[in-house]
């Protein structure tokens, strides 16, 4: 049994932010009822590489969830959601602010019959403020939150990370907020509350000392490529065989071990380089020395020397490297699960690792509406009613 066994979650949303939040909850045992449109379901079903009619991303994003089709624009569909939410612990939604209220599914309405309900609301700009009604995706949150400005090289336009990072970070804050609200409900009165997560704020929260540096010194952090400004040496270097190695030798004792290991005792014993502030002032010189050393050796040889000196270093993995890696396997991070046809598909393992009640994959993303009948039966709908709703496109 997972640690969230007995927690019922209603997911009202699509694509990334809301569904990623509920995916985490489902991985640890929560019952997640995903509401999808009868007309095609979550668009993520058709994003990127397809397999057996569904996106492989969908199989992962919707693992352990139940799929229930409901037309949220119909009064009968809205009533179904209200009845499903009446005994739920959490509702997660990522529509534009105001949409849930327009459908009669806002927090005031749902909590009237279920005062202990926790509602997680993920949106581009939050539920309040002058931008609340603007459409916002994770990419826009990354831009407004400051991440895009510092990502890339100074002589080129800003770039994005190759995944939907803004959505994922906001989703994790949604999980944290939901669990904190459940804890509050448990020990302080039994009432639920709203967890308001804005994508741009989730990204902004990651931006380290960006704000106080600007406030105190009027300093605007800029793009610096692969280096870590003000912390040295920490960079990506090219080896003789054209591969890349990331080295973080910015700890005082680590720096000394590394310089000794690569034959640069002059730098290891230089008193100006004993502390980070001195190394940061001479970071170009250090990068040149390390880069020259790496450029005369193949990647495996570089890693052997640095591992021997206990210097944090590693190659940049692609997915083929990940699948072959013994540590990934040993930690259970490459799982195998069966698709609807019974074929085996590799999916990432669950994070974090709990020693007593670990999460896991019980099933991959379901077929569209696979659990509609059972969900409706659980809230009192009979066979004739369900068939009538189906004929009229409500479910």
Contact partners, residue 170, CB within 8 Å, separation at least 6: 17, 122, 138, 141, 197, 198, 199, 202, 203
Active-site residues, by number, are 167
| Distance between start and end Cα atoms, the chain | 31
CA neighbor of 3 nearest in space, from 288, 353, 367:
353
What are φ and ψ of residue 3, in 5° steps?
A: -65, -20
* Token pair 């009533």 in the structure block, residue: 79
54: tokens are: 């569904």
Note whether 366 and 62 are within 8 A (CB): yes
As a residue count, the chain comes to 395
Q: How many secondary structure helices (H) and strands (E) does the chain include? A: 18, 13
Alpha-carbon span 134 to 10, nearest angstrom? 25
Neighbouring C-beta atoms of residue 147, cutoff 10 Å: 22
Kindly list the distances between the CA atom of residue 119 and the CA atoms of 25, 108, 244, 344, 368, in Å, as whole numbers in the listed order: 14, 10, 45, 35, 24
Element (H, E) at 326: helix 326-330
């Amino acid at each position: 049994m997972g640690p969230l066994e007995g927690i019922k979650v209603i997911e009202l949303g699509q694509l990334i932010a809301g569904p990623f939040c509920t995916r985490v909850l489902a991985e640890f045992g929560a019952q997640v009822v995903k509401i999808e449109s009868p007309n095609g379901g979550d668009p993520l079903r058709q994003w990127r590489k397809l397999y057996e009619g569904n996106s492989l991303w969908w199989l992962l994003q919707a693992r352990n969830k139940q799929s229930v089709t409901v037309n949220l624009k119909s009064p009968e569909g809205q009533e179904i959601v209200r009845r499903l939410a009446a005994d739920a612990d959490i509702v997660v939604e990522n529509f534009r602010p105001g949409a849930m209220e327009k459908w009669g599914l806002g927090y005031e309405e749902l909590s009237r019959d279920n005062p202990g309900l926790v509602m997680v609301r993920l949106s581009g700009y939050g539920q309040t403020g002058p931008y609340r009604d603007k459409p916002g995706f994770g990419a826009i949150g990354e831009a407004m939150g400051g991440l895009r400005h510092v990502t890339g090289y100074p002589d080129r336009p800003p770039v994005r990370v190759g995944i939907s990072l803004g959505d994922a970070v906001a989703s994790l804050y949604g999980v944290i907020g939901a669990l904190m609200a459940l804890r509050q409900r448990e020990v302080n009165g039994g009432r639920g509350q709203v967890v308001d997560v804005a994508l741009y704020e989730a990204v902004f929260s990651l931006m380290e000392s960006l704000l106080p540096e600007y406030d105190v010194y009027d300093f605007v952090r800029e793009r610096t490529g692969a280096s870590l400004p003000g912390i040295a040496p920490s960079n990506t270097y090219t080896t003789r065989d054209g591969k890349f190695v990331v080295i973080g030798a910015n700890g005082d004792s680590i720096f000394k071990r590394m310089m000794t290991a690569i034959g640069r005792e002059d730098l290891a014993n230089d008193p100006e380089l004993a502390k980070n502030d001195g190394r940061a002032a001479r970071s170009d010189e250090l990068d040149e020395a390390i880069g020259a050393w790496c450029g005369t050796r193949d990647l495996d040889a570089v890693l052997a020397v640095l591992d021997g000196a206990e210097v944090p270093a590693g190659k940049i993995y692609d997915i083929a490297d990940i699948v072959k890696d013994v540590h990934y396997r040993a930690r259970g991070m490459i799982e195998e699960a069966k698709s609807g046809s019974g074929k085996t598909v590799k999916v990432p393992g669950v994070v974090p690792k709990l020693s007593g009640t670990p999460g896991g994959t019980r099933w991959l993303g379901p077929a569209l509406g696979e659990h509609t009948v059972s969900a409706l039966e659980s809230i009192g709908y009979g066979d004739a009613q369900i068939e009538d709703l189906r004929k009229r496109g409500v479910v």
